[in-house]
Structure 1
Amino acid sequence: MTILYLTYIDFGDFQSGSSVRPQMMYEAFLSLGCEVKLLQAQQNRREQRRHAVEEINRWLDTNRPDFCYVESPSGPIFHSFDRKLLRRVHKMGIPVGYFYRDAAFRFDEVFISGRKSLKQHVIAWMSERDVRFLKKNTDLVYLPTESMAQYFDFPHVAFLPPACMGSRGDKLGKLPGKRSIYVGGVSKRYGTDTLLKAFDLLNGDGDEFPLTLVCRPQGVAYIDEKVRNKPWLRLVHASGAKELAPLYAQADLALYPIEKNAYNDFAFSVKLMEYLEYGLPMVAVNCTETEKFIQRYSLGLVCENDPADFAEKVSELLRDTELYARCAKNAAQAVQGNLWTDRAKTVLADLGGSQGEKQA
């Protein structure tokens, strides 16, 4: 089976979910025996992008893929030549599936404080233009979660949540220690205030429940200097599997404190799947899709968007050895069925018809 696969990134950078997903799907398609014609290039490198699109157009002159799969950019489609390419593929009668990853432009109350800038107005307009364009030029729009569907009226929708690469470790048969880990952004929206207040409640001036907080260097400025010097807090700058693996191995519990709001209720982080790869039980704020995921597989505990409740759930999970053992076992088992190859098989079955079902 031949797939025309359109992305909006340069492969090789795994700094964010928007770069992880396209590359993992590419590898998954290849592992399933598909022939993949790939378009990769960042939008903000216009000439590089234009040449890459021109090469795909030349390829289409003499080739016809079984279907086209698109991993959307982080934001709107900038260039008219990208839209022309999608329009051409659709007019050729090639099934087009488009993974639509985000809807931040419809949540000003979450992402914008004060008045919108001109740039923000333009991005919102371009994003709404994309929605209209996709309704006419795709056959199936994939969303990351079911909760996101209520904000759109695409004619044909299916769901492709994030996935994982497979087991990288587990906590089976291990008595829990007291070390927790959080990996991600640092801000009010990411729940940093809730997280740090919770661990201050757990520890006071001691360090019974140590926390490893992994973030980018610029994130440290958000954390008050007094908190940075607390004995229970370890700040680390690391990224990529090689640097994160030993930190996950040292941890007993993974945390996801992101602020509960309308946007985060439908969002689902790739980070949760990374926690799953390392077999870590979890404590998370009860955002809708996060809560559904943790409860579906019994991976840990969910709490209110409240430091005291967060602290209570961390303490409960790390002190209750039977509960911890069940969550560790469930995490190890939940990897299966949540692989990137499972995600790719869904696309093959949806867009490849009988050939996709046979190949998957």
Structure 2
Amino acid sequence: MPTALTDPDHLPRHPLMDVAFLRFCRRNGIKVGLFYRDIYWRFPEYKQRLNPLVHTGTRLLYNFDLLAYKFAVDKLYLPSMGMGKFVPHFPAKRHEALPPGGEINDAAHPGDNSVRLFYVGGLGGYYNMHDCVRAVAASKNAFLTICTREDEWQQVQAGYEPLINDRIEIVHKHGSDLVPYYAKSDICMLFIEPSIYRSFAAPIKFAEYIGFGKPVIVNEGTNVAEFVQANGNGWAIPFDQEALTTLLDDLAENPEKIAHVTDTALRIRADNTWAARARQVARQLT
């Protein structure tokens, strides 16, 4: 939501108050960093779901925010540097990447001879999981649990039910109720149809996967794939159903490969917490 509309009733009663305060801080020698979470308003889907008058007005206000930040903010923090090319007005040389952090949680390894997969998140819009479901169904010994909101599942259920077999289950949990599902999972999933948006998106659940020390299977062409390739905490493969099935069958036959990557996933947790992100910002703004 544009800053001007963040009053409780969303009326622009104080449109310049936030920017004026940030500008005051900067003029008085206080370094200012601002986290800019998303840029969805620049994509066609934003216009498609709003009244033309509304999206025209809000897009003008979003542009105004970024123009104002150019003078009121020292560093603009983004979920990934890839998002920067879609951010207008603010100088790219003052962008910094600040992906989500997580909390360290311990979840035991299930320890059987199957491959147990877990996905937490949406299933509509940018979150197309059909090929992932097909790949698991075609595998020899992989099990997939999808955790999504019940109302969202009802909207897409008809498209998924024909693909599901007895090794795929759908659950609707959140918060601490997710812990048992992490505990019985070997690997977490972000095998989702690529898009321009996914090329820079930094899903908060990816940080949660890291916090639980779980390896992740992702598809190439995404921001999270770049992270996995750089850090070794999972597998980045082409977005291809057969490629995923082949990987799952290989991991089921060679569980030591999962164990090796799990060690890496556990090792990188401390560098990807919210506290680590806060230390990064403190260093850059002092």
TM-score (ref. length: structure 2): 0.85
C-alpha distance in 2 between matches for 1:201 and 1:169: 28
Contact kept, 8 Å, 1:162 with 1:269, in 2: the verdict is yes
Amino acid in the other structure paired with 2:157: I
Correspondent of 1:103 among 25, 39, 53: 39
Q: Please name the residue that 1:121 is paired with.
A: 56
* Aligned-pair CA distance for 1:111: 5.1
Q: Following superposition of structure 1 onto structure 2, how do residues 1-360 of structure 1 map, counting pairs within 5 Å?
A: 43=6, 45-46=8-9, 79-108=15-44, 113=48, 117-152=52-87, 153-154=90-91, 156-169=94-107, 171=109, 174=111, 177-202=114-139, 208-221=141-154, 222-224=156-158, 226-227=161-162, 230-240=165-175, 242-351=176-285, 353=286
Q: SS where residue 213 of structure 1 aligns?
A: strand
Q: SS where residue 179 of structure 1 aligns?
A: strand
Relative to structure 1, the CA distance from residue 300 to residue 316 in structure 2 (aligned partners, 3 Å threshold; closer, same or farther) is farther
| RMSD value, Cα | 2.9
Query: Which range is displaced more, 224-233 or 156-165?
Result: 224-233
Query: Which range is displaced more, 321-330 or 295-304?
Result: 295-304
Contact kept, 8 Å, 1:301 with 1:317, in 2: the verdict is no
Q: SS where residue 210 of structure 1 aligns?
A: strand
Q: SS where residue 124 of structure 2 aligns?
A: coil
Relative to structure 1, the CA distance from residue 156 to residue 235 in structure 2 (aligned partners, 3 Å threshold; closer, same or farther) is same
C-alpha distance in 2 between matches for 1:191 and 1:310: 15
How big is each residue's C-alpha offset from its partner over 1:274-308, in whole Å with a ceiling of 9 and x where there is no partner? 11222212111113321121122212212222322
Contact kept, 8 Å, 1:256 with 1:285, in 2: the verdict is yes
Q: SS where residue 182 of structure 2 aligns?
A: helix
Contact kept, 8 Å, 2:120 with 2:146, in 1: the verdict is yes
- Runs of 4+ with deviation above 6 angstroms: none
Query: Which range is displaced more, 261-270 or 145-154?
Result: 145-154
Q: SS where residue 217 of structure 2 aligns?
A: strand
Q: SS where residue 267 of structure 1 aligns?
A: coil
C-alpha distance in 2 between matches for 1:168 and 1:312: 29
* Aligned-pair CA distance for 1:228: 7.8
* Aligned-pair CA distance for 1:176: 5.1
Q: SS where residue 332 of structure 1 aligns?
A: helix
Number of residue pairs aligned between Structure 1 and Structure 2: 277
* Aligned-pair CA distance for 1:246: 0.5
How big is each residue's C-alpha offset from its partner over 1:211-231, in whole Å with a ceiling of 9 and x where there is no partner? 111001112120227338632
How big is each residue's C-alpha offset from its partner over 1:231-253, in whole Å with a ceiling of 9 and x where there is no partner? 2221111111x111001101122
How big is each residue's C-alpha offset from its partner over 1:127-158, in whole Å with a ceiling of 9 and x where there is no partner? 11111111111111111212222333425222
C-alpha distance in 2 between matches for 1:80 and 1:195: 46
Contact kept, 8 Å, 2:114 with 2:143, in 1: the verdict is no
Q: SS where residue 115 of structure 2 aligns?
A: coil
